A and B are shown apart, each in its own frame.
Chain A
C-alpha cells in the first residue's frame, strides 16, 4: 500500500505514514490520555443522550459551545504547531494527512448515516465506550452492532459510490 492510497485506511484515526509499531512507553501515554478523555466525556456530559437531544432540538447552547470551543482550540493549536514547524516527541515532523475529496458522496452519505445513529444512540464512538465504563452495560450491544455495521460497510464498499 502506497501513500497515495491513504483513503483505503479507516479515516477516523489515520495517522501519518510511514507507520511503525508504537513503543510501549508511548502506549502508556496514550492510555493515560484516554483515561483523561474518558473523564472529560463524563464530566462535560457530552456522552449523555439527553445532551444530544438538547443539541438536535436547539434547546441549549451547551453542546454547540463545547464543540465550537473544542474546534477553535484545536485549530489554534494546529496553526501554532505548523507555524513553529514542531516535531513530535519521537522527532518526526508533524503532518496531518489530507483527506481526498473525490465526489464527496462518501462524506455526505456516510455522515448522514452516522448522524442518524448518533441521534438514535445518543452517543458517538468515544462516548459509547465511556458509557460502558460508566455502567450503562447495554451499550456493549451497541458497540457489537457498530462492529457489524463496519463489517457490512467493508463488504459493500466496492459497490458504494464515493
Chain B
C-alpha cells in the first residue's frame, strides 16, 4: 500500500480517480467540482471593501470548497512524506527541449532554477512565479473556472461555455510555451 502510494501512478489509474471526485462531491452535498472559485472566496472573505463581483456570502457558497482546498494542501504535504522523493520521468524530447532553453536541474516537481526564492528576482523567476500567478487569478475569474471546473466538470456535463474556455486554455498555454517561455527561460 505505502509502496503504491509513493510511486507514480499510470494515467489510466490517475485519470479515472480524478474523475470520480465529480460524482463524490455531487453525492455528498450537491457540490460542483471546481477549485478556482476559492480564489474569489478568499478575496471575498479577506477584503474589507469589495467590488460587486466579490460581494456574496462566501461562507454559504464557498466554505465547503475552502475546506476541500485546505485538504489539498495537507494531501500534498502527506504525499511528500510518503516514500522516497524521485524526479518526474518526463519524455527525453521534453528534457532535451528544456535543456536547449537553458535548464540544467530536473529534480523536484518544478525546476528550482525558476521556482525558488533565490530565482524570484530573475526575469524567468518573476515572470513564472508572479506574472503567471496573476494571469491564473485573472483568467479563472474572467472565465468562471479552471481545469477542474471547466475541463473536467464542464466538459463532462457537455457545456458549450466550458468547451470554449478549454480551447482558450490551450490557445493560451501553447502561446506561452512557444512564444514566451523560450525568451523567459533563456534569460537570466
Contact = CB atoms under 8 A, between A and B. Distances in A.
A113 B129 contact: no
Interface of A: 1, 7-16, 19-22, 26-27, 29-57, 59-63, 65-75, 77-78, 80-81, 86, 88-90, 92-101, 104, 106-126, 128-139, 141-155, 157-158, 160
Nearest to A111: B168
Given A12-B145, A74-B156, 17 more contacts: A37-B68, A37-B72, A43-B14, A69-B16, A70-B152, A77-B19, A92-B30, A94-B27, A113-B138, A115-B171, A121-B136, A133-B78, A134-B80, A143-B133, A145-B137, A149-B139, A150-B141
B60 A70 contact: no
A47 B69 CA distance: 14
Given A21-B63, A35-B78, A111-B150, A145 B130 contact: yes
Contacts of A98: 159
A73 B16 contact: yes
B1 interface: no
Given A71-B151, A99-B144, A125-B35, A132 B57 contact: no
A147 B158 CA distance: 29
A138 B116 CA distance: 6
